A and B are shown apart, each in its own frame.
Chain A
Amino acid sequence: MSDSTTQSIDAAWETLFSALDYDEGNQQARWSEEVERRLKENGLTYQAHTSKHRQNRRGQLDVVPYLMSEPTFEHLARGLSQRMRFFEALLNDIYGERHLLADGSVPADLLFSNPEYLIEAHGLNPQTPWVSFLAHDLVRDKGGQWFVLGQSTRAPAGLGYVLERRLIISRVMGYLLRQMSVKRLSGFFRMLRQFLRSDGRDQDLSILMTPGQSVESYFEHAFLANHLGFTLAEGDDLTVRSNRLMLKTLSGLRPVSGVLRRVIDQNIDPLELNSTSRQGTPGFMDAVRRGGVRMGNVPGSGVIDSPLWMGRLEGLCQKLLGEESILKTLPALWLGDADEREEFESLWPNILVRHASAFPAGESFVVRDLPDAERNILKARISADPSSWVAWQSVDLEKVPVAEGTARRESFAVLRMYTAQSQDQKVDVMPGGLASCNHDASWAQLRPNTPERYKDLWIMGTEPDNQLSMFAEMDAPALGPVDQSMTPSRVADAMFWLGRYVERADGLTRLVREVLAGAIDVRIERQQAALWLLGTQLKIDEINFEDAASEIHQLIFTRTAPGGLDELITAIMRNARATPDYLSDDAWRALVNLEQMIERIGWMKHADAGRLLDQVDSILMQLATFSGLNNDTMSRTFAHRFMNIGRYLERTSKTLTLLNHAFQTLKPQDINHWEFVLEVTDTVMTYRRRYRTRLHPTAILDLLLLDDETPRAIGYLTAHLESLVQALPVQQLGGRKTQLQQLAFRIHAGLQMAQTDDLMTIQGSPKKPLFDILDQQIETLSSLSEAITLAYFSHADVPQQLVKVS
């Protein structure tokens, strides 16, 4: 390294430290708090994305970045690019001609012990590079020598996190990044967006394939897909027809041209590979084999992730490329080799040991820290199957500073850097990444995936990079407008039900509020009217006070009570999680708050009715916030439209049922009851403003059934339902759209001909035609819901396995 490089990096550290040490180090402490707060805030939102809540799953983010000079980065980048070329050659041989196996350069047991070795990948002959994305872990020892610790094809694992952390750091200490000319990441991400396009055709449909909301990193998949402009898809969203991979969308099956996947090799195709996994798509391997899809990391490429290769990569590089490896790999011993095993024995117990499995799952041991009994168990396991183990002497890692209050202490770091290779084999290295830190040097190199804290990696350019802004890092995909009809059917399905459940929760909460308020009213008529209202919900004609109390109790406190609050919030969250990239951050926050409020009310069994009412009120407000946010911030996509269809269907059906019950059971003089009808539909004010009379059933009917300007009136709802349904994409399956249109038209038109005089007597009693209309509306509504399900969501069938022939 030249003197000028050393000088410039020293100067950079000085600039950084003087900024951190400002105000006797309080600047560093403040920034740390700020970073921590922002991470937590994000964390709350992100945790909501996965069904399993986990605490502290992500390490802290250090405000002291890992600084790297541009010449050092360029040296590493050259080395990493060479490794991309090398792995390509290695994979071609392993799954192709197998020369390396025949001549012994790759020991048979080393390859066959590798749990990621996929015999089904033989003969795939991909038309694309085997590896499009690769993450490398690198370390530097005290003498400044770089070593590669390992690599992962499960990239872009962590890419979303890299982006998130850089965003936080640049929000908190953005001016420093500018001042120190830190390289931006946006160029690399722009490249990624293009990577699956061979010829830049705009019609190409690229997807990010995710295992779904059961995995912890689901949020990251959604975040990344959104950022790259890829459609987030699960195995069930895809199907293979005539050896082409297709996405099930609202407008039928659409061919997929590129797949970036976070589903591991073994789980990608239940027909050919792991038959117990539900994450894949039957026929996927045949689609790859017959050239129907471009893959980011072809199945089988995971074989290079195993640590078994560690000690052999440099020799293989020389052999395959005829070039000396630019980067050294950590000199590890493979215990399947007799000589290396012997050397291992002589180093015992001052040695680190790792199992063959790829990084996240692989077991690892610091032998000198093990009690005798465990050492013996490990020894026996190694003897039973030596070729599944590697070992190395702990590297004397360089120390890096980490923030500690207003001061700093030392730690050890492993760098994670990312490379991408386009279809025409052009390699790009991300000018940034993450450093994972551990106070123990051995654990830092054994488990870089579970560090105590992370650092942002700053590559300092010699010249200031273009004006850096938050949005510059996040700039919008350089694609044309996304074709809305590409929305996966599953997303539309989930949005539809999200809308229905939110509305249902709204209805229930409103009802509970009115019934509670009525029940504590001193007037006996109010109390009875409250009971009547509850009966409407429960579809019971007569209900006494005791039963009412227990029913209300059920609905708000009992977990898993059918139709209760707990069941509704569970359904809301489940459907929201299925569509993470369609909701805004604020909408997510509203949902998380809602979930917490409902959880809190579960603890209020013994609270008095007044406090309970307050809590119910806040839930209602939170529901309104969520709906309002979606209407304000969500673009008018198909997904959004399905959510509104769900809401309107639910609301229409609720109001129809209420009206039916009211006109069947109430007399004109039941003023208190009629008042509840208006309160539960939130139309008291409208009624007063418009009719300026005391309550009269005919006026109520006019308002709630026929009016087309009041958002809770059937007239208004059906008019909107009709226009929403008419604007849905035309199905390729013939005929169904017509039926849908007819139903939507019928439900709206059925009301337009109605006149109040035909439905009500002058005295305010209902005539028979009223009930005919209500019945017909209810029936049409349920047909409409079924027709939508059939036309747009009917892919829900999950493939099942043929019983095996014995």
Chain B
Amino acid sequence: MRYRVRHRNRYQYGQPVSLCHSHAILLPRDTLNQQVLSARLTILPLIEDVHERQDLFGNRVSQFSIDEVHTELNVLAESEVEVRPTRVDLDRDIAWDDQSVIPAKTRLYCRPSVYVPMGHPEIQRFASEFFAAGRGLLESTNALNEVIFHEFVYDQNFSDLETPVGLVLSEKRGVCQDFAHLMLATLRSKGVACRYVSGYLETDPPPGQPKLMGADASHAWVSVFVPGTGWIDFDPTNGLFPSERHVTLAWGRDYGDVVPLKGLMTGGSQHALEVSVDVTPLE
């Protein structure tokens, strides 16, 4: 499938801002099944000097600063991507506790991170429900993915960024970000290498298919490293394997590594934010 993605961020400030430093991760990256045909960032007030670099994870980070007085900031990311379908072969599984073969660099994804702390006893107990001795990695992860989808309530009013994963587990509710973080914490408590993936969903489903949860904003899911096979994506919010309806933007240890737009400004006082995301098929 070929998509056009438009991700618009609009900040309106109560007071003029005289200086603002920003980092944006809004331009999608290439993946094994995704090719970025074009991508660009438009910033208002007009900024010519946008510096792009790759971070350790290979994400595209755009850096810019605005040192003219402004009361509104618009950042529009537009891209065209080609996504090919993927198929997960659940039979090509390995024992989940066979982690001796995780490459050194990938082991970064086994460690705790800001939004994915370790050592939570409830999460360890929860993990043991899926990762029994002798079970397969894909098999266990898929069961976990299904349970989060079926037993957890998608609730936009429940959580914010500071909501700990322990609470998401005990209350069994949250949004895509919470489900992804909980799934990562569960997997990492068993030593599985896994990462947080940010991206988008096709906004309007093809005829006959249900609209996916989280389609009107940025979405988040999980990718698991399977030794011998590679990275396999899971979407616990929708209980499925992401394929050609998911557009990948970036990945990292957790949300903290892929924040779409960060900024520090002088002035501004109160500010309001509007975000809109459109993912439309081009064929």
Residues of A within 8 A of B (CB): 98, 101-102, 104, 107-109, 112-113, 119-120, 122-123, 239-243, 270-272, 275, 282-283, 286, 289-290, 384-385, 797-806
* In the complex, B167 has a CB within 8 A of chain A: no
Q: In the complex the two chains form, is A384's CB within 8 Å of B119's CB?
A: yes
* In the complex, B21 has a CB within 8 A of chain A: yes
Residues of B within 8 A of A (CB): 9, 11, 18-19, 21-23, 49, 51, 53-56, 63, 65, 67, 104-105, 107-108, 110-111, 118-119, 160-161, 175, 177, 217-218, 257, 259-268, 271, 273, 275
Count of CB-CB pairs between chains A and B under 8 Å: 107
Q: In the complex the two chains form, is A800's CB within 8 Å of B104's CB?
A: no
CA A385 to CA B23, docked complex, whole Å: 33
| B67 cross-chain contacts in A, Cβ below 8 A | 241-242
CA A802 to CA B65, docked complex, whole Å: 13
Q: In the complex the two chains form, is A119's CB within 8 Å of B56's CB?
A: yes
Q: In the complex the two chains form, is A806's CB within 8 Å of B218's CB?
A: yes
CA A107 to CA B21, docked complex, whole Å: 36
Q: B271's contact among A120, A271, A802, by CB below 8 Å, is which?
A: A802
| B161 cross-chain contacts in A, Cβ below 8 A | 804, 806
| B175 cross-chain contacts in A, Cβ below 8 A | 806
Extra A-B contacts (17), CB below 8 Å, given A239-B19, A271-B23, A272-B262: A98-B105, A108-B108, A109-B107, A113-B111, A120-B55, A123-B53, A240-B65, A242-B65, A243-B51, A271-B22, A289-B53, A797-B266, A797-B267, A799-B19, A800-B264, A800-B268, A806-B161
The 7 closest A-B pairs by CB, nearest first: A282-B264, A108-B107, A802-B263, A108-B104, A283-B21, A799-B264, A122-B56
| B271 cross-chain contacts in A, Cβ below 8 A | 802-803
* Closest-CB distance, B218 to chain A (whole angstroms): 7
Most chain B CB atoms below 10 A, which of A122, A239, A241, A282:
A282
Q: List 30 A-B contacts (CB under 8 A).
A: A101-B104, A102-B104, A102-B105, A104-B104, A108-B105, A109-B107, A119-B56, A122-B55, A122-B56, A123-B53, A240-B21, A240-B65, A241-B67, A242-B49, A243-B51, A270-B264, A271-B262, A272-B262, A283-B21, A286-B51, A290-B51, A800-B265, A802-B264, A803-B271, A805-B260, A805-B261, A805-B273, A806-B161, A806-B217, A806-B218
* Closest-CB distance, B92 to chain A (whole angstroms): 25
Q: In the complex the two chains form, is A802's CB within 8 Å of B104's CB?
A: no
Which B residue sits closest to A101, measured CB to CB?
Answer: B104
Which B residue sits closest to A239, measured CB to CB?
Answer: B19
| A241 cross-chain contacts in B, Cβ below 8 A | 19, 65, 67
| B108 cross-chain contacts in A, Cβ below 8 A | 108, 112, 119
Q: In the complex the two chains form, is A801's CB within 8 Å of B263's CB?
A: yes
Q: In the complex the two chains form, is A805's CB within 8 Å of B9's CB?
A: yes
| B21 cross-chain contacts in A, Cβ below 8 A | 240, 271, 282-283, 286, 799
Which A residue sits closest to B75, measured CB to CB?
Answer: A805
Q: A805's contact among B23, B218, B257, by CB below 8 Å, is which?
A: B218
Q: In the complex the two chains form, is A272's CB within 8 Å of B23's CB?
A: yes
* Closest-CB distance, A268 to chain B (whole angstroms): 13
* Closest-CB distance, A179 to chain B (whole angstroms): 57
Q: B262's contact among A109, A119, A802, by CB below 8 Å, is which?
A: A802
| A798 cross-chain contacts in B, Cβ below 8 A | 266
| B19 cross-chain contacts in A, Cβ below 8 A | 239, 241, 799
CA A104 to CA B19, docked complex, whole Å: 45
Known pairs A271-B23, A385-B118; A802 contacts B265 (CB<8 A):
yes
Q: A271's contact among B217, B263, B268, by CB below 8 Å, is which?
A: B263
Q: In the complex the two chains form, is B273's CB within 8 Å of A803's CB?
A: yes
* Closest-CB distance, B162 to chain A (whole angstroms): 10
Q: Is the interface of A mostly helix, strand, loop or mixed?
A: loop
Q: In the complex the two chains form, is A805's CB within 8 Å of B54's CB?
A: no
Known pairs A98-B105, A240-B21, A283-B65; A804 contacts B264 (CB<8 A):
no
CA A282 to CA B265, docked complex, whole Å: 9
| A239 cross-chain contacts in B, Cβ below 8 A | 19
CA A119 to CA B61, docked complex, whole Å: 14
Which A residue sits closest to B159, measured CB to CB?
Answer: A806
CA A286 to CA B63, docked complex, whole Å: 8
Which A residue sits closest to B26, measured CB to CB?
Answer: A805
Which A residue sits closest to B9, measured CB to CB?
Answer: A805
Q: In the complex the two chains form, is B267's CB within 8 Å of A804's CB?
A: no
CA A798 to CA B118, docked complex, whole Å: 34
* Closest-CB distance, B25 to chain A (whole angstroms): 10
| B111 cross-chain contacts in A, Cβ below 8 A | 109, 112-113
CA A674 to CA B110, docked complex, whole Å: 82
* Closest-CB distance, A100 to chain B (whole angstroms): 9
* Closest-CB distance, A273 to chain B (whole angstroms): 11
| A270 cross-chain contacts in B, Cβ below 8 A | 264
| A283 cross-chain contacts in B, Cβ below 8 A | 21, 65, 264
Q: B119's contact among A113, A385, A804, by CB below 8 Å, is which?
A: A385
| B23 cross-chain contacts in A, Cβ below 8 A | 271-272
| A802 cross-chain contacts in B, Cβ below 8 A | 11, 22, 261-265, 271, 273
Q: In the complex the two chains form, is B177's CB within 8 Å of A806's CB?
A: yes
CA A806 to CA B115, docked complex, whole Å: 14
| A806 cross-chain contacts in B, Cβ below 8 A | 160-161, 175, 177, 217-218
Most chain B CB atoms below 10 A, which of A122, A241, A384, A800:
A800
* Closest-CB distance, A806 to chain B (whole angstroms): 7
Which A residue sits closest to B67, measured CB to CB?
Answer: A241
* Closest-CB distance, B55 to chain A (whole angstroms): 7
Which A residue sits closest to B176, measured CB to CB?
Answer: A806
| B56 cross-chain contacts in A, Cβ below 8 A | 119, 122-123
CA A799 to CA B67, docked complex, whole Å: 13
CA A109 to CA B191, docked complex, whole Å: 12
Known pairs A122-B56, A283-B65; A805 contacts B275 (CB<8 A):
yes
Which A residue sits closest to B112, measured CB to CB?
Answer: A385
* Closest-CB distance, B19 to chain A (whole angstroms): 7
CA A289 to CA B257, docked complex, whole Å: 18
| A122 cross-chain contacts in B, Cβ below 8 A | 55-56
| B49 cross-chain contacts in A, Cβ below 8 A | 242
| B110 cross-chain contacts in A, Cβ below 8 A | 109, 112
* Closest-CB distance, A220 to chain B (whole angstroms): 29
Most chain A CB atoms below 10 A, which of B53, B65, B264, B273:
B264
| A800 cross-chain contacts in B, Cβ below 8 A | 264-266, 268
Which B residue sits closest to A803, measured CB to CB?
Answer: B273
CA A806 to CA B21, docked complex, whole Å: 19
* Closest-CB distance, A366 to chain B (whole angstroms): 25
| A240 cross-chain contacts in B, Cβ below 8 A | 21, 65
CA A385 to CA B110, docked complex, whole Å: 12
CA A123 to CA B51, docked complex, whole Å: 14
Which A residue sits closest to B15, measured CB to CB?
Answer: A797
| B266 cross-chain contacts in A, Cβ below 8 A | 797-800
* Closest-CB distance, B53 to chain A (whole angstroms): 6
Which A residue sits closest to B264, measured CB to CB?
Answer: A282
* Closest-CB distance, A78 to chain B (whole angstroms): 33
| A804 cross-chain contacts in B, Cβ below 8 A | 161, 259, 261-262
Most chain A CB atoms below 10 A, which of B22, B104, B217:
B104
Known pairs A102-B104, A108-B108, A806-B161; A123 contacts B268 (CB<8 A):
no
CA A633 to CA B80, docked complex, whole Å: 69
CA A384 to CA B161, docked complex, whole Å: 27
| A242 cross-chain contacts in B, Cβ below 8 A | 49, 65, 67
CA A79 to CA B157, docked complex, whole Å: 60
| B257 cross-chain contacts in A, Cβ below 8 A | 119
* Closest-CB distance, B149 to chain A (whole angstroms): 20
| A102 cross-chain contacts in B, Cβ below 8 A | 104-105
Q: In the complex the two chains form, is A123's CB within 8 Å of B54's CB?
A: yes
* Closest-CB distance, B24 to chain A (whole angstroms): 10
CA A730 to CA B118, docked complex, whole Å: 57
CA A513 to CA B262, docked complex, whole Å: 57
| B18 cross-chain contacts in A, Cβ below 8 A | 797
Which A residue sits closest to B53, measured CB to CB?
Answer: A123
| A112 cross-chain contacts in B, Cβ below 8 A | 107-108, 110-111
CA A123 to CA B57, docked complex, whole Å: 11
Most chain B CB atoms below 10 A, which of A112, A242, A289, A290:
A112
